[in-house]
Structure 1
Amino acid sequence: MAGERVRIRGAVQGVGFRPTAARVARRMGLQGWVRNDAAGVEIALMADGPRISAYLEALTRALPPLARIDALERSEDPSFVADGFMIVASEGEGAPRAVVTVDAAACAACLREVLDPLSRRYRYPFTTCTHCGPRYSIVERIPYDRENTTMAGFPMCAACRAEYEDEDDRRFHAEPVACFACGPRAALRRMDGRAFSADAFSMMDEVDAVATLLARAEIVAIKGLGGYQLCCDATSDAAVAKLRERKLRPDQPFALMVRDLDVARRYAELDAGDEALLTSPAGPIVLLRPRVVDARPLCALVAPEQPCVGVMLPTTPLHHLIMRRLDRPVVCTSGNLHSEPQCLTPAEVDARLAGVADWALDHDRPIAHRVDDSVVRRMAGAPRVLRRARGYAPSWMPLVASPDAPAILAVGAQDKATFAISQGDRVLLSPHLGDLDSEAAFTAYLDSFAALSELYAHRPQRIAIDRHHGYRSAQWGRQLAAARGLEVIEVQHHHAHIAACLAENGWRPAGADDLVLGIALDGLGMGLDGELWGGELLLARYEGFERVASLKPVALLGGDKASREPWRNLYAQLMAEMGWAELDMNFAHLPVVQDLAARPRDLLDSMLRSGTRCPTASSCGRLFDAAAAALDLHRDAISFEGQAAMALEALVTPATLEAAREGEHYPMATPKLGGDGLPYLEPLGLWRAMLGDLHAGIEPSLIAARFHVAVADGLILLAMRAQRQHAFRVAALSGGCFQNALLLALVVDGLRGLGLEVLTHTAVPPNDGCIALGQAAIAAAGS
């Protein structure tokens, strides 16, 4: 009888794949074996081709919840002989190519045990099985076996060992399997070091005591899957204000954890799609429209001036046990100070959070890799990942490249940093690593790179960096390339955005002349010849691009200050459009114009005339900041990126959006720079109409809606102009401004109205978290 070897790559280790493969084989009467190795899973079968094909089809239908097959290769092995079907020991030789499965939220079966007084794992906070629990956050080497994880220091007791070795048990080879007798333990402590009795807070245990502390407006640092979280009662004004003051986070929204869907429904608007996201194995923070609650309402400081509030369910048995008797939301935010990475150890908590948390709930299972909570928002008809971390990353994606393409390291951007490493025709995008402004954050970025590179034995042959030489990631990439003698590929920021969207959607050119219209909207990125871009229409493919239109370049008054003080953008926009004489003659009575008149206009005008600290930029983000300032939304200053633009979006209601779409639109023109240069979006008509609405006393919500519609209208006009001059059938949207649900939906609808197929981000963020993927796709295309 003939034999075959089947090589399977994907999420196939630590997810119950081997026992499933064995059960299906035995049910079909096949002989052979299955094992883990450095590349994934290998199956040897003694059967003819048709029977093996039938087996693989049955196996695909029977996959466990966390398993995923990315690639399957079959090869003949005529000499193979077997008797029965066995699960054999892992083979660790060879270059690591296996997929390390991402961490998964606690499954229903484990939670039933945790809450069952008759179960031996009753109230055990680290209960897990092959369907859930820690994976990436504990793995240190491949293949994914217990001795290669941070569970190696916890020898299994006899009862856990029996489950681990029973092929019919859902804990068969569940590497983190443990119980009270042999596994990690949680411990509560006061941050001031003083003694206490847990019995004063709970009749159960120290984990349950945390619920009492939260209800008493205390701040507790809780060690989760991928790092510490800071938690407090989200309905307590005193607790939330205390956390904001101590964490140095005055306005940026906090995420909420709720006990279950019933509590979530009380505080936010949910539909079936939202519930599916909340209860998925990834267990992300889901951005939802908040409800007005009379009894125990949310503190107003949780998410001030935001269109949405972030909500998640408990992700581990530990969190479920804490939330068990809390019928209110709890703030659950990263355990760090502003601009620093999450704490991973009790020592880091003592060093960095001593002045923030009142209590800490530690545990003794080490964290191998830092992983923050993921954030998802449903926009324009689909769930869209805005922060890709726990439950989603790191994970491999197909790359439009040859299988023997050189290994690439793409270092990403400065903010919302990620990096990517490629192996042939696949690429791994790291989890979200935050902004790289602080030394601690950059060190965490380097640590994550070192860990993932070691895990997959990745040795780059090319390094792709952003053109902005001020980015720390780009500086480091250049230094690393020089030290190793590697080729450096500089990638334009907005080209990387569009390439990331194309790569995520698996776009392949139909021919040498096949191009897409890319629309990239963000704050700033280094363009060509030292220009600053931020609102670009590119005729693009992986290998290159042509800039075919942009937003109007306007001065960044004061340089970097313009990104923090929205009034500067409003002043620069109005001076670029109409000048002070027209503004003063027609609108001097408006409070916003009186506010600008009180600014140091002589100095500002001198800066604009000379260009001193006033680089021009075609920035969409700064245009939105200017509109927000006109409506007195954070006019003087913002405390976090995008704050003014998010407040502007939050101002719009469904009713005012409908009125804006059906009523008279703010006019937008599309002339050429200098009369015969690059087409651009001219907002002069927009500003005159917007100020006219302020003069007429139109409600701010309708003005904000009309602004959104006008920007989308202008982009569609530019796309129509490009369509008349160039042949393309696909449009791709990327950039942080497309985190705005209104703008995204309006632009998608408009482009589809032009007969275009529209590609958007869903699995990868549209913000700078996608830049590394785009850099890798562009560098691979140059092979």
Structure 2
Amino acid sequence: MNRKRASIEIEGIVQGVGFRPFVYRLAGRFGLCGWVRNTGRGVQIEAEGAGEDLDAFCQALKIEAPPLAVISAFRVVPAIPQGGEGFTIEQSAKVKSGGQVSPDCEVCDDCLAEMSDPANRRYRYPFINCTNCGPRYSIITGIPYDRPATTMASFPMCPECLAEYHDPLNRRFHAQPNACPVCGPQLALLDAAGEPVAGDPLDETLAALAAGKIVAVKGVGGYHLAVDAANEEAMARLRQRKKRDEKPFALLVADLEAVQRLVHCSELEGRLLTGVERPIVLMRKREGNPVSPLVAPSNGWLGIMLPGNPLQHLLIQGAGGPLVMTSGNLTDEPIAHLDTDALERLGGIADLFLTHNREIHTRTDDSVLRLSLGEPLFFRRSRGFVPRSVALQQAEASVLAVGAELKGTICLTRDGRGFLSQHIGDLKNAATLQSLEETVQHLGRLLEVTPEVVVHDLHPDYLSTGFAEGLNLPRIGVQHHHAHLASCMAENHLEGELIGVILDGTGYGEDGAIWGGEFLLGGYERFERRGHFKYLRLPGGDAAVKEPFRMALSVLYDCYGAALFDRMPAHLPELGAMERSLFLKMLERGVNSPVTSSCGRLFDAVAALIGVRNRISYEGQAAIELEALAETSAPVKGYPFQVAGVEGHHLDFAPMIRALCEDLAAGRDRAELARAFHRTVAEAVVEVCSRIRRESCRDRVVLSGGVFQNRLLTEETATLLNQAGFTTYCHRLVPPNDGGLALGQAAIAARRWRPDPPEAA
């Protein structure tokens, strides 16, 4: 017999996904002997048998891998046959350079069927799982991925669970979170003071929700705040207690049939909803849907998710209708995941706490997506997708990137791949900074990465910059919009130099100004600022971000000077003589009025001018509502604009503002005004890109920055660019907002970093 032996090393997401039992069964099918074990990098296999069987085994490893597995490297090295019988799963080996950990994923159909079967010993058990589903990233404390390195270590398996764990033909064979009601985690219901509530925790929770109570529910990655989505009074109470006046809440819905009653759900959106990642998907509201208008006021979209863990399935089945399921936190704070912390921080919001005794080691908030250009676009990349990696073209050094301020994430690189963390939050307070520090330590431990260099934003006052400065590592500062450009390049595997259109709200510019409407030419190593939106004043500084009417005054001053108050629409706030004098001094002299090229602030200005929003209660609200209004109009022609400047192309929208004010005074429909504005920005982008192409002979364009979360603007811009002969690239793997910034920082630093050569002896 032509007997062969092979040593096989597999890297990727191959731990915690049933890969070793899969290998064991596959080896039995092909009559091979040998062993399989987890290593720090992934999985190692020694297999021996007939040559044709061994070859078929290697092919089957790749094409029949478990549904949650992702193979990033597959190496086969011939070995000397040793003989022997049987195939075993050996104890995990600990080696340097960590593997890739599986994200948390939705409960599988087999487990759901068992949970719904009154005759099954796991009937209504909210912690049911197997090798094909369940918690992973949130419960892992170290690698290799074995039960002692998870928060299930404190739950010894009962004889029945242990028998499943050791049975190669059982789908719970080596399922590390395996448990049942006898030996596993248990639910508990507490009141706001932390005292136990009598009765069955699940039944009492459902009764409380039906009575309009607010319940903090401990899930896989942290606490949610749950309330009946049709209960107007309960919704108002939640908004008042959470101090979240208007920002939309996410909804937990039972199934796709129920989803269709609430929103217009396409086939692709349905596939996103039902994926194992279970993200929140933003979809257009249906008229007359049964949920309270307070779920998403002044917003044409609803954020919907399907149940992603057994407890959510039990809750939504018992509730009989949609539940608000929003992050368990206060404004600007990270989601609560520790029990004591949740009771302390959410005690003033929740009436009850549905908790359990399985520790959440790593908090992971929900991921948020919408469709743009017919493909998924991340608003927030977190649970279900983290810590999946992104391939980098060149990344030999181990880099830690710490992002900027808003929508914080970190990125670690190893072996040519970038590992983005879960969403951390806005780095504006000590709690979020602590979460960033914990994430750096935990992800570094899982990946076994010791960074050689740390990279940060140029803004000197960001907490992330201060954190980087406190590390005993060489530092690289990267300009905010350059990092956006590199982020889009990295996920699209682009090399060389190209045009970057980076539109966002705020970024520290190299000239000390606030950038945000940028046209860059460059790549990873360098960039030139070839154009930007004309600078405007920010009257009152940060106050102008929260009060868009201030930006309306700024653009009116830019057009009409001191006569701006004669051009103010009636729906702008009425200003007395003293206030007018103060604003005029700000705009004329620049007192507490820094300059900005921000596209986000231009959106704010137009939103206020046409009566959409004078003040906001959450980030981006004016732009979101302006987009929603524009989408109710048919396509219209854009307004005029100018491109001027000797050193770079300065994009001046003053002609647009004057024309818009004339249309507003003439009574033109506001939705048409909003649509014409979007069209104007798209046409202006194409004009500046065309001028840069004539100078540089570059015809590839990347679109990045938070403004490109705007579906209407993104689609119109990309369409016009493509029609003009450009090749256009957008984000798909990471968010265009600052949540994807760390990837770009890491990609740039990996090219720039060159360690000092060792000193000669």
Name the TM-score class by shorter chain.
Answer: over 0.9
The equivalent of 1:591 in structure 2 is 570
The equivalent of 1:6 in structure 2 is 8
Q: Deviations over 1:372-403 (max 9, x none)?
A: 1110111111011211111011222212215x
1:78 alignment partner, one of 80, 90, 99: 80
Residue 458 (structure 1) shift: 2.2
2:204 alignment partner, one of 197, 209, 213: 209
Residue 80 (structure 1) shift: 4.7
d(CA) in 2 for partners of 1:681, 1:53 = 61
1:223 alignment partner, one of 218, 231, 234: 218
1:315 alignment partner, one of 308, 332, 351: 308
Q: Deviations over 1:3-46 (max 9, x none)?
A: 32111111101111122223333323333322111110011123
Gaps of 5+ in 2: 754-761
SS in 2 for 1:323: helix
Contact 2:499/2:700 (CA < 8 Å) preserved in 1? yes
The equivalent of 1:630 in structure 2 is 609
- Flag the 1:772–1:354 CA change in 2: closer, same or farther, 3 A: same
Contact 1:266/1:293 (CA < 8 Å) preserved in 2? no
Residue 530 (structure 1) shift: 1.3
Contact 1:571/1:596 (CA < 8 Å) preserved in 2? no
d(CA) in 1 for partners of 2:45, 2:601 = 56
Residue 582 (structure 1) shift: 7.4
The equivalent of 1:572 in structure 2 is 554
2:638 alignment partner, one of 659, 662, 665: 665
SS in 1 for 2:542: helix
Q: Deviations over 1:487-506 (max 9, x none)?
A: 21110000100101111112
Aligned partner letter, 1:132: C
The equivalent of 1:286 in structure 2 is 281
Contact 1:31/1:83 (CA < 8 Å) preserved in 2? yes
- Flag the 1:52–1:356 CA change in 2: closer, same or farther, 3 A: same
- Flag the 1:610–1:81 CA change in 2: closer, same or farther, 3 A: farther
Aligned partner letter, 1:366: E
Contact 1:577/1:683 (CA < 8 Å) preserved in 2? no
Structure-2-length-normalised TM-score: 0.96
The equivalent of 2:67 in structure 1 is 65
Within 5 Å, which residues of 2 pair with 1:230-629?
A: 230-293=225-288, 297-402=290-395, 405-480=396-471, 484=472, 486-507=473-494, 509=495, 514-581=496-563, 584=566, 587=567, 590-592=569-571, 595=574, 600-629=579-608
Residue 259 (structure 1) shift: 1.6
Residue 460 (structure 1) shift: 1.3
The equivalent of 2:756 in structure 1 is none
Contact 2:408/2:739 (CA < 8 Å) preserved in 1? yes
Residue 479 (structure 1) shift: 1.8
d(CA) in 2 for partners of 1:417, 1:48 = 53
SS in 2 for 1:287: strand
d(CA) in 2 for partners of 1:374, 1:68 = 19
The equivalent of 1:201 in structure 2 is none
Further displaced range: 321-330 or 593-602: 593-602
Aligned partner letter, 1:630: L
d(CA) in 2 for partners of 1:694, 1:214 = 46
d(CA) in 1 for partners of 2:577, 2:419 = 52
Contact 1:259/1:326 (CA < 8 Å) preserved in 2? no
Further displaced range: 444-453 or 597-606: 597-606
Residue 536 (structure 1) shift: 0.6
- Flag the 1:195–1:383 CA change in 2: closer, same or farther, 3 A: closer
Gaps of 5+ in 1: 199-204
Q: Is 1:685 paired with 2:685? A: no
Q: Deviations over 1:161-184 (max 9, x none)?
A: 111111121111111110011000
d(CA) in 2 for partners of 1:160, 1:315 = 23
SS in 2 for 1:45: strand
Residue 598 (structure 1) shift: 6.5
Further displaced range: 59-68 or 574-583: 574-583
The equivalent of 1:202 in structure 2 is none
The equivalent of 1:119 in structure 2 is 120
The RMSD of aligned alpha carbons is 1.8
d(CA) in 2 for partners of 1:264, 1:354 = 31
d(CA) in 1 for partners of 2:68, 2:312 = 21
- Flag the 1:493–1:627 CA change in 2: closer, same or farther, 3 A: same
SS in 1 for 2:477: strand
Structure-1-length-normalised TM-score: 0.93
Q: Deviations over 1:558-583 (max 9, x none)?
A: 11111111011111112113324377
Within 5 Å, which residues of 2 pair with 1:115-194?
A: 115-192=116-193
- Flag the 1:559–1:172 CA change in 2: closer, same or farther, 3 A: same
Residue 53 (structure 1) shift: 4.6
Aligned partner letter, 2:689: A
Contact 1:4/1:44 (CA < 8 Å) preserved in 2? yes
Q: Deviations over 1:287-313 (max 9, x none)?
A: 01111236xx22111111223110101
d(CA) in 2 for partners of 1:731, 1:24 = 47
Q: Deviations over 1:54-79 (max 9, x none)?
A: 43322222111111101112223235
Contact 1:106/1:315 (CA < 8 Å) preserved in 2? yes
Matched positions, count: 751
SS in 1 for 2:101: coil
Residue 771 (structure 1) shift: 1.0
2:626 alignment partner, one of 630, 644, 648: 648
Contact 1:668/1:713 (CA < 8 Å) preserved in 2? no
The equivalent of 1:27 in structure 2 is 29
Contact 2:9/2:74 (CA < 8 Å) preserved in 1? yes
d(CA) in 2 for partners of 1:721, 1:550 = 13
d(CA) in 2 for partners of 1:225, 1:599 = 54
SS in 2 for 1:520: strand
SS in 2 for 1:137: coil
Contact 2:562/2:584 (CA < 8 Å) preserved in 1? no
Residue 597 (structure 1) shift: 7.7
Further displaced range: 274-283 or 188-197: 188-197
SS in 2 for 1:503: helix
Aligned partner letter, 2:231: S
Contact 1:263/1:327 (CA < 8 Å) preserved in 2? no
Contact 2:142/2:446 (CA < 8 Å) preserved in 1? yes
Residue 665 (structure 1) shift: 2.2
Residue 406 (structure 1) shift: 2.1
Q: Is 1:756 paired with 2:726? A: yes
Aligned partner letter, 1:85: F
Aligned partner letter, 1:159: E
Residue 670 (structure 1) shift: 1.4
Residue 782 (structure 1) shift: 1.6
Aligned partner letter, 1:641: E
SS in 1 for 2:73: strand
The equivalent of 1:706 in structure 2 is 676
d(CA) in 2 for partners of 1:466, 1:431 = 19
Further displaced range: 167-176 or 218-227: 167-176
SS in 2 for 1:41: strand
Identity %: 42
Further displaced range: 253-262 or 14-23: 14-23
Aligned partner letter, 1:517: I
